[in-house]
Amino acid sequence: MIDKDNYLIEILNFFTEKFCQFDCLIETNYKELPVVKISFEANQLPHLLGFQKINQVGGIRGVENIKNKKITLKAIEKHDKYFEIKPRIMGFKRLNDMFQPQGMEYCLLKKDNKNATKLNQVLDIILFDKEKRNNHIYILGLSKANNYDIYYPRTFFETKASKYSHLKMTRIKNITWV
């Protein structure tokens, strides 16, 4: 049973402890991008959970609203668009499994992404959860920081595995936390 008053705080603590204290290095088999460095920040969490879809505040204010229980699972479940973000919230801890050794096998680089959606045009790299559930997977979209070789999470959501299966993928060789 989920404690709906504290679940978002649990997710925030999980994200901060597991991801925001370190950078992640992903080694690929692509010679032009042998290592992808990912940096995580707590203020990314509200957007990754999809709060923008239900008109909730993002960034640092969103994090503060979670900490102060101004935003709770109990409250956002009442929103008419909650169904759009529910898989993100309920599956968010899958990120931990994705970033373990062998948690991801492939990524999709922008140069190989032929899906012409607006979202795919702004993502530089898409990481795929290795584990499928009911023919669905979780993906984490990354964008490169301006003038730096660091990538930041831009989106996290569940999608049909077949949506990207026809595209050329880049192999992930190793995942390291530094």
> 171: helix, coil or strand?
strand
In whole angstroms, how large is the CA radius of gyration of the chain?
Answer: 16
Q: Is residue 77 very low, low, confident or very high in pLDDT (cuts 50, 70, 90)?
A: very high
The residue whose two tokens read 């169904």 is 83
Strand ranges, E, within 47-134: 106-109, 125-128
Give me the torsion for CA of 78, 83, 13, 26, rounded to 10°. -160
The per-residue pLDDT of the chain, averaged, comes to 92
User: Amino acid identity of 64?
Assistant: E
Confidence (pTM): 0.92
Nearest-angstrom CA–CA distance, 34 and 73: 39
Does 119 have pLDDT greater than 70?
A: no
Q: Mean pLDDT over residues 153-164, rounded?
A: 92
Cβ atoms of 124 and 109 closer than 8 Å: yes
Percentage of the chain beyond pLDDT 90 is 75
26 contacts: CB under 8 Å, gap ≥ 6: 35, 36, 38, 104, 107, 127, 172, 174, 175
Alpha carbon distance, N-terminus to C-terminus of the chain = 35
Tell me the pLDDT band of 118, cut-offs 50, 70 and 90: low
Model pLDDT, residue 114:
78
- Please say whether the dihedral angle defined by the alpha carbons of residues 9, 10, 13 and 14, taken in this order, is positive or negative: negative
Dist CA 158 CA 29 (whole Å): 25
Rounded-to-integer distance, Cα 4 and Cα 126, Å:
30
Is 117's pLDDT higher than 70?
no
10 Å CB burial of residue 165 (0-12, 13-18, 19+) is: exposed
Strands of the chain, DSSP E: 23-28, 35-39, 106-109, 125-128, 136-144, 151-160, 170-177
The full set of domain ranges for the chain reads: 7-177
Q: In the predicted model, is pLDDT for residue 58 greater than 90? A: no
